[in-house]
Amino acid sequence: DAGVIQSPRHEVTEMGQEVTLRCKPISGHDYLFWYRQTMMRGLELLIYFNNNVPIDDSGMPEDRFSAKMPNASFSTLKIQPSEPRDSAVYFCASSGGPIINEQFFGPGTRLTVL
Amino acid sequence: RKEVEQDPGPFNVPEGATVAFNCTYSNSASQSFFWYRQDCRKEPKLLMSVYSSGNEDGRFTAQLNRASQYISLLIRDSKLSDSATYLCVVNMRTGGFKTIFGAGTRLFVKA
């Protein structure tokens, strides 16, 4: 079975550009999570969806970040405009349940904003 | 105080050694607990869930102490392949749902 799929795997962009990260969760999972990982702050939950509905976006750093989940098999995380401090690895994860279930992570997108 | 705290290490141990990590959490509403493993430049992967009764999986043993609000991971007979960062994860219901990852403990196992 395919795991969580993320694209692109690497993204290098210039400050001010729009960046869109993509995620395909594991089929049948009804929870989807977006995380950001940096050396300074570790792994931070940005937002999570349940049945395609955003439930908690309190981790989204600012209005430049937005996330959507138009259907059960696709989600995007958009940064507009991007800034150098957004450079990080962004992980998408999916789960069959929020509390007691394992979260399966995608391989991540390594974003560098110059 | 951070909601989930781990000793960042690094722990440098020889092959065959026993090593233990602790993780403390501050919110007593925490409901489920996990240990994840993350290799360099890879995604986190579940190592094991942590139950109140304790659980064991081969060389790995996890314990939960709700009274003292900490979880532990014990690795026996460590292998070179155990070298990684170990992340503790705490899930809690606080109105909604919240998942918090610890910063991780780095382990190096040397020949």
Instruction: Compute the radius of gyration of chain B from its Cα atoms.
Output: 14
Which candidate from A33, A55, A99 shows the least CB-CB separation from B32? A99
Rounded to an integer, the average pLDDT of B46-68 is 92
Asked whether the predicted pLDDT for residue B103 surpasses 90, the reply is yes
- What's residue B37's pLDDT? 97
Q: Please tell me the predicted confidence (pLDDT) of residue A100.
A: 66
Where residue B59 falls among pLDDT bands split at 50, 70, 90?
A: very high
Segment A43-97, tens digit of pLDDT? 999 999 999 999 989 999 889 999 999 999 999 999 999 999 999 999 999 998 7
pLDDT the model gives residue B28: 82
At A62 the pLDDT is: 86
What's residue B16's pLDDT?
Answer: 98
- CB-CB contact of A114 with A15 (8 Å): yes
Q: Rounded mean pLDDT of A32-45?
A: 93
Q: Which pLDDT score, from 0 to 100, does residue A17 have? A: 97
Task: Output the six-digit token pair for B106.
Answer: 């780095």
Closest C-alpha to A19, from A86, A91, A105: A86
Residue A98: what pLDDT? 63
Between CA B88 and CA B3 the distance in angstroms is: 11
Give the pLDDT confidence score for residue B31 in this predicted structure: 81
Inter-chain touch B32–A100, beta carbons under 8 Å: yes
Query: What average pLDDT does range B68-88 have in this prediction?
Result: 96
Q: Are A48 and A67 in contact (CB under 8 A)?
A: no
- What pLDDT, on the 0 to 100 scale, is given for residue B33? 92
Cβ–Cβ of B91/A98 closer than 8 Å?
yes
Q: What's the rounded Cα separation, in Å, for the pair A8 and A3?
A: 15
- Residue A99: pLDDT band with limits 50, 70, 90: low
Query: A6, A47, A99: which to substitute to probe chain B, counting the most B Cβ within 10 Å?
Result: A99
Do residues B1 and B16 touch, judged by C-beta distance below 8 A? Answer: no
Q: List, as ranges, residues 68-87 from B with C-beta within 8 Å of A.
A: 87
Judged by a CB distance cut-off of 8 A, whether residue B43 touches chain A is yes
Only one residue has tokens 């532990």, namely B72
- Which residues pair with residue A36 across a beta bridge? A44, A90
In chain A, what are the helix, strand and coil shares in percent, each to the nearest 5? 5, 55, 45
Q: How confident is the model at residue B99 (pLDDT cuts 50, 70, 90)?
A: confident
Is-contact A79 A19, C-beta < 8 A?
yes
Query: Contacts of residue B104 in chain A, CB cutoff 8 Å?
Result: 42
Cβ of residue B27 closer than 8 Å to a chain A Cβ: no
B76-107 burial, b if ≥16 CB within 10 A, otherwise e?
A: eebeeebbbbbbbbbbbeeeebbbbbbbbbbb
Residue B95's alpha-carbon distances to B1, B26, B34, B103, in angstroms, are: 21, 17, 21, 24
* CB-CB under 8 Å, B46 with A45: no
Segment B32-54 mean pLDDT:
92
Q: For residue B72, give every residue at least 6 positions away whose Cβ sits within 8 Å of its Cβ, in sequence order, or none.
A: B20, B21, B22, B23, B62, B63, B65
Query: From CA A59, how far away is CA A42, in angstroms rounded?
Result: 13
What confidence score (pLDDT) does residue A31 get? 92
What pLDDT was estimated at residue A1?
Answer: 64
Per-residue pLDDT of B6-35, as tens digits, reads 999 999 999 999 999 999 999 888 888 999
